[in-house]
Amino acid sequence: MTDASWSQTAREPEFGDYLELLKPRVMRLVVFTAAVGLLAAPVPVHPVIAAASILCIAVGAGASGALNMWWDSDIDAVMSRTTGRPIPSGRLARGDALAVGLVLSGFSVTMLALFANLAAAGLLAFTIFFYAVVYSMWLKRATPQNIVIGGAAGAFPPMIGWAVATGGVSAASVAMFLVIFLWTPPHFWALALFRNDDYTRAGVPMLPVTAGERVTRNHILAYSLVLVPVTLAPAFSTIGGPVYLAGVVLLNARLVMGAWSVRRRDAAAAASDKYRAEKRFFGFSIVYMTLIFTLILAEAGLRSAGLAPAHWPALF
């Protein structure tokens, strides 16, 4: 190989290309929900330990994102939402993503075990395994229930945060898990409705691809209705309170209204205004999740300031 040829062909990646493998936007939500889980727990954690542990959780989540990009680079290349990712756009090789994913998975789990405890590290390891192997490799291409079960991966971070503080699992941390777990399907089905062409082309069996728009719209409403009691339940637990209850009632009213307007439309109506209601529902679902965890955080803040009511019925 001559000196001239390598500088023409070698396309050296930048640092930012590797950072992109970690899905920074997903990471942001993981950091937030893990931090809320940690702060809502009844055991105080030293701020340095808390920050280091949350960093481990974020890096672990990023590692599972890199493993997902390694495995799914073929379908990422044909979906317009994902063609710009580092592997399909030719900035990194598949092996780079595999290496980054494996190394960071090992590192994040080991460091979390040392910084916090084995329960938190075990949950993080299971989350990475669940997202990379159960969701990406197994369910995503096999069943329209892919995101229903796969949503569990995104629901673990608050439980890990809680385990960092308490060293275990409890009813309140499972309640936070269930909120994200049941929120994920309607959130992604709304996206799948207006990105249907993408998923069809990539052969990913999302619900609108396999069962049609009508069924998907019904499912979005059904899951939104199930979310109402599931998000109300934590109000009557050790992490809830009157502020949470009031906020969640309003958020659920808005969610069900949005789901209803998605439910009563058909494909023709949606196509005529370029899926406006579906896009609005998708956008609101992100606000909904963020605000629910903000409310849990607010209750934790009120408790530590001594402003929580003394006789609130905390059932679990």
Partner 1 sequence: MKPDSHEIYGRRRSRNLGLGVVLAAFVLIVFAVTVVKLSEGADMRSPDNFGEQPPGSH
What DSSP designation does 79 have? -
Asked whether position 310 contacts partner 1 by CB under 8 A, the answer is: no
- The Cα–Cα gap between 164 and 140 comes to 30
Of 31, 55, 98, 245, the residue at the interface with partner 1 (CB under 8 A) is 55
Q: How far apart are CA 156 and CA 16, in angstroms?
A: 27
CB of 28 to partner 1, least distance (A): 18
**Which of 1, 25, 46, 311: binder of partner 1 (CB under 8 A)?**
46
Asked whether the beta carbons of 21 and 65 are under 8 A apart, the reply is: yes
What gap in Å lies between CA 76 and CA 203, rounded to an integer?
11
Q: Residue from 49, 222, 226, 256 that binds partner 1 (CB under 8 A)?
A: 49
48 binds partner 1 (CB under 8 A): yes
Does position 1 interact with partner 1 (CB under 8 A)? The reply is: no
Stretch that binds partner 1, among 7-15, 174-182, 231-239, 262-270 (CB under 8 A): 7-15
Residue 152: CB minimum distance to partner 1, A: 29
Q: Which is nearer to partner 1, 66 or 292 (CB)?
A: 66
Q: Smallest distance, Å, CB 89 to partner 1? A: 15
Q: How far is the CB of 218 from partner 1 (least distance, A)?
A: 47
Q: Which residues in the 78-117 window bind partner 1 by CB under 8 A?
A: 114-115
Residues 6+ apart with CB under 8 A from 150: 130, 131, 134, 135, 139, 140, 184
CA angle in degrees (0–180, nearest 5) for 309-313-316:
120
Residue 13 CB, shortest distance to partner 1, in Å, is 7
* Least CB distance to partner 1 at residue 12 (A): 4
Residue 7 interacts with partner 1 (CB under 8 A)?
Answer: yes
CB nearer to partner 1: pick between 117 and 210:
117
How many other C-beta atoms are found inside a 10 Å radius of the C-beta of residue 79?
A: 19
Specify the residue, 49 or 93, whose C-beta has the smaller distance to partner 1: 49
Greatest CA separation for the chain: 79
Q: What is the spatial distance between Cα 109 and Cα 123, in angstroms, rounded to a whole number?
A: 9
Count CA atoms closer than 13 A to 12's CA, side-chain side: 5
Contact of 241 with 312, CB cutoff 8 Å: yes
Contact 97, 160 (CB under 8 A): no
Q: Does 273 bind partner 1 (CB under 8 A)?
A: no
Q: Choose among 105, 112, 157: nearest CA to 129.
A: 105
Nearer to partner 1, 16 or 242 (CB): 16
- Residues near partner 1 (CB under 8 A) are 7, 10, 12-16, 18-19, 46, 48-49, 52, 55, 114-115
